[in-house]
């Protein structure tokens, strides 16, 4: 089984270093003249699948599907399947994090054999990096990836993520722990990535991570595509900028949405 790290590297080489978000926020549904219900959610996703079919990675924001209950999850399952049929790698932005048997159940849902399982999933390590072990093990066994939150750009995260212990920040400790997992699961590229906000003035050092770095916050949140090169000491091909609203506001016309996505891919192509 080819690991996620290798599949991601190949996809970025062929389709460009960009992760496009599917964020069906109620305001976006209304802006696209769609009902704020499961039917509108499904139509929103169908448009996104059609527009993003030749890109490397697409990231559905799970919370906006969960808000519609079981009908929303049904749309998410269908969307994951439709994206994968086009050759797109799907990153489920679920930000799961728990302990013990509960974490193991989340692992089966998002990285095992569940209909919700995607190519990769985001996870929160703030119950301790070791609490993610069931997810890391399940993902590795199934050729999937995990992106671990390290340094986010929201102001509420500063007190925890930038706290120092033993001369390094908590965020750096998370990056280092992810790097250790990737070293143990040679060969590179590793399948455990980290999440680092695009707008951070002092990001953690990711040069020894041996895996991908998801960089949210590009576009509408203030991150500039042209300013990402070398973020945190990243190597060429390591950064995966994530863009949602900046592109989605071009919808609902499929042609316009595809053009916006392609323009953003061109803007970050130098990172490959």
Burial class (CB in 10 A: 0-12, 13-18, 19+), 202: exposed
For residue 53, what are its two tokens? 């079919």
The answer to whether residue 95 is catalytic is yes
Q: Where are the alpha helices (DSSP H) in the chain?
A: 4-15, 26-31, 38-52, 62-66, 69-85, 100-111, 133-141, 158-161, 170-184, 245-248, 254-268
**DSSP string of 77-123?**
HHHHHHHHHTT-EEEEEEEE---HHHHHHHHHHHHSSSTT--SEEEE
Length of the chain as a residue count: 272
Beta carbons of 147 and 59 less than 8 angstroms apart: no
Q: Which residues of 95-107 are buried (b: 16+ CB within 10 A; e: fewer)?
A: bbbbeeeebbebb
CA–CA separation, 111 and 247 (whole Å): 28
Strand partners, 240: 214
Select which of 78, 95, 245, 249 is catalytic.
Answer: 95
For residue 91, what are its two tokens? 């990153």
Among 162, 142, 208, residue whose Cα is nearest residue 181: 208
Positions marked active-site: 95
């Amino acid at each position: 089984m080819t690991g996620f790290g290798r599949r991601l590297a190949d996809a970025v080489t062929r389709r460009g270093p960009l992760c496009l978000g599917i964020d069906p926020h109620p305001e976006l549904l209304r802006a696209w003249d769609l009902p704020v219900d499961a039917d509108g959610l499904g139509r929103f996703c169908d448009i996104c699948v059609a527009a993003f079919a030749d890109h490397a990675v697409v990231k559905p924001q799970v919370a906006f599907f969960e808000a519609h209950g079981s009908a929303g999850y049904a749309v998410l399952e269908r969307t994951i399947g439709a994206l994968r049929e086009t050759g797109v790698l799907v990153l489920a932005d679920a930000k799961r994090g728990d302990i013990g048997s509960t974490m193991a159940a989340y692992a089966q849902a998002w990285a095992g054999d569940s209909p919700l399982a995607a190519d990769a999933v985001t996870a929160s390590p703030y119950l301790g990096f070791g609490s993610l072990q069931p997810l890391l093990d399940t993902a590795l066994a199934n050729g999937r990836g995990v992106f671990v939150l390290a340094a986010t750009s929201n102001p509420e995260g500063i007190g925890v993520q930038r706290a120092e212990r033993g001369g390094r920040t908590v965020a750096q400790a998370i990056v280092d722990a992810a790097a250790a997992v990737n070293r143990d699961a040679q060969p590179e590229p590793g399948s455990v990535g980290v999440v680092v906000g695009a707008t951070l003035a002092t990001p953690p050092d990711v040069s020894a991570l041996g895996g991908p770095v998801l960089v949210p916050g590009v576009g509408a949140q203030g991150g500039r595509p042209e300013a990402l090169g070398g973020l945190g000491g990243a190597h060429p091909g390591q950064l995966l900028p994530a863009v949602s609203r900046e592109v989605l506001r071009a919808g609902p016309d499929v042609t316009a949405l595809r053009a916006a996505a392609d323009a953003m891919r061109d803007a970050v192509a130098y990172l490959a």
